[in-house]
Amino acid sequence: MFDVAIVGGGLVGASLAVGLSGRQRVALIEAAPPPVGEARWDERCIAVNHASVCILESLGVWADLRAEAAPITSTHISEQGRFGVARFAAAEAGLDALGYNVPIRALGSALWQRMLALGTTTLLCPARLQSLVRSDDAVELALDDGRIVRARLVVAADGMNSPVRELLGIDAERRDYGQSAIVTAVQTTRTHAGCAYERFTPGGPIALLPKWPQGGDRICSLVWTTPREQLRERIDCSDDDFIAAAQAAFGERLGRFSGLGARQAWPLMRVMSERLTAPRVLFAGNAAQSLHPVAAQGFNLGLRDVATVAELLNDPAFVDSDPGADAVLAEYAQRRQRDRARVADFTDQLVRLFSNRIPGLRGLRHLGLLALDLAPGVREAVLWQNLGFGGRAPQAARTPA
């Protein structure tokens, strides 16, 4: 019998396996083989905020990642055809960096390496969860290779379309934004100097984030939110045509785009599980909430789910008790509710405000950006939210990096 069975070994499930290491008997069930891969200059990256860096430090993986992480020292948010600009700098918060842009490959690999080095997690991989049966004191999970696993608590970290959620018949609120994110990398003729740019255009927001270290300071991750009806055209067109269109949308703040990486597309949905817990089960990461990437908050939020679970199961008040007890689950739901709602609502409002083409909204957006740039109270609130300190942050998120 395991204390905890984690279903899903993506970034969130693997982080939790490391966070629970040594104190609980933990099994990790992952359908795909362990992540491996060579570094590529155009690989997909993820922006992690300051709170996430603190958590990754507490998990013992940040030191391995640091060499591949590009510091984001400032942000610049603008709207095409308008003067309003919002800028934030790390120095305002007394920090060296607001966050870091990290290759997903490096993050996944560092977490798996750490888990393997600690040697305390029982890995069931590759193996796919097929069914689960709950009793009063445990959950029995059946895998597609015939193995049966019993655990007192199941953590569903099995992604946006969570099979655990489906098997338990728990609903999720789904919103299809009718958009996809095209993700690639560009070389620029001017240095990014650590600045992350987000520019809102009628064709969708386009974000350029610093990338490190493959091309010095002239390579950026590019994330372009694209209405689904334009997706094929932007994916199938030549590199030259894509560069010309992206350059027209973004402008010349970073000079000319001089090279382009491989393009990948991700359909954008908001999926909010109607419940964060069920008897002997809790949801974390994308299984709990999948968000539009416009505010780069999905993994950051998932990592705070992880830190909260680890904090709770290591809390002296709960450490000797049943990890799947109702009191533990209720405490988890209560601690995560506010942060989750705040980040999900902020992200959704940003998508709606900037995708809506009602004429009056343009002025409102303009005022919004000016307020962000000028009004100290608003600036601070948004800055702290984006650093990951909104709501009741778990202790690991507050330790200085």
Ligand X SMILES: Cc1cc2nc3c(=O)[nH]c(=O)nc-3n(C[C@H](O)[C@H](O)[C@H](O)COP(=O)(O)OP(=O)(O)OC[C@H]3O[C@@H](n4cnc5c(N)ncnc54)[C@H](O)[C@@H]3O)c2cc1C
Q: How far apart, in whole angstroms, are the C-alpha atoms of residue 239 and residue 259?
A: 8
Site string for ligand X, 163-202 (x = CB under 6 A): x-----------------x-x-------------------
* Smaller CB separation from ligand X, 41 or 318: 41
* Smaller CB separation from ligand X, 29 or 351: 29
**Rule CB under 6 A: is residue 261 a binding residue for ligand X?**
no
* Smaller CB separation from ligand X, 156 or 312: 156
* Smaller CB separation from ligand X, 187 or 273: 273
**Rule CB under 6 A: is residue 346 a binding residue for ligand X?**
no
H helices of 176-325, where? 228-236, 239-250, 298-313
Q: Which of 103, 293, 324, 394: binder of ligand X (CB under 6 A)?
A: 293
CB-CB contact of 278 with 132 (8 Å)? no
Report the nearest approach of ligand X to the CB of residue 300 (Å): 4
Report the nearest approach of ligand X to the CB of residue 5 (Å): 10
Q: How far apart, in whole angstroms, are the C-alpha atoms of residue 102 and residue 118?
A: 23
Report the nearest approach of ligand X to the CB of residue 367 (Å): 27
**Rule CB under 6 A: is residue 386 a binding residue for ligand X?**
no
Q: Which residues contact 320 (CB under 8 A, 6 or more apart)?
A: none
Closest CA to 100 of 259, 4, 221: 221
Neighbours of 60 (CB within 10 A): 16
CB-CB contact of 77 with 85 (8 Å)? yes
* Smaller CB separation from ligand X, 10 or 84: 10
Q: Which of 46, 220, 260, 351: binder of ligand X (CB under 6 A)?
A: 46
Distances (CA, A) of 80 to 75, 84, 209, 251, 252: 16, 9, 18, 9, 12
CB-CB contact of 380 with 374 (8 Å)? no
Closest CA to 344 of 392, 384, 399, 294: 294
Report the nearest approach of ligand X to the CB of residue 273 (Å): 12
Task: Tell which positions 121-160 bind ligand X, by CB under 6 A.
Answer: 128-129, 157-159
Report the nearest approach of ligand X to the CB of residue 35 (Å): 8
Task: Tell which positions 7-36 bind ligand X, by CB under 6 A.
Answer: 7-13, 29-32
CB-CB contact of 164 with 154 (8 Å)? yes
Report the nearest approach of ligand X to the CB of residue 320 (Å): 29
**Rule CB under 6 A: is residue 110 a binding residue for ligand X?**
no
Pairing of strands 281-283, 148-156: parallel
Task: Tell which positions 219-248 bind ligand X, by CB under 6 A.
Answer: 223
Both tokens assigned to 151: 């655990």
Report the nearest approach of ligand X to the CB of residue 315 (Å): 23
Q: Which of 121, 201, 286, 308: binder of ligand X (CB under 6 A)?
A: 286
In the chain, how long is the greatest CA-to-CA distance?
63
The size of the interface with ligand X (CB under 6 A), counted in residues, is 32
Measured in whole angstroms, how far is the alpha carbon of residue 23 from the centre of its chain? Answer: 26
Both tokens assigned to 300: 């950051």
Nearest residue by C-beta to ligand X? 10
CB-CB contact of 72 with 209 (8 Å)? yes
Summarize as ranges the residues that interact with ligand X (CB under 6 A).
Answer: 7-13, 29-32, 46-47, 128-129, 157-159, 163, 181, 183, 223, 266, 285-286, 293, 296-300, 302
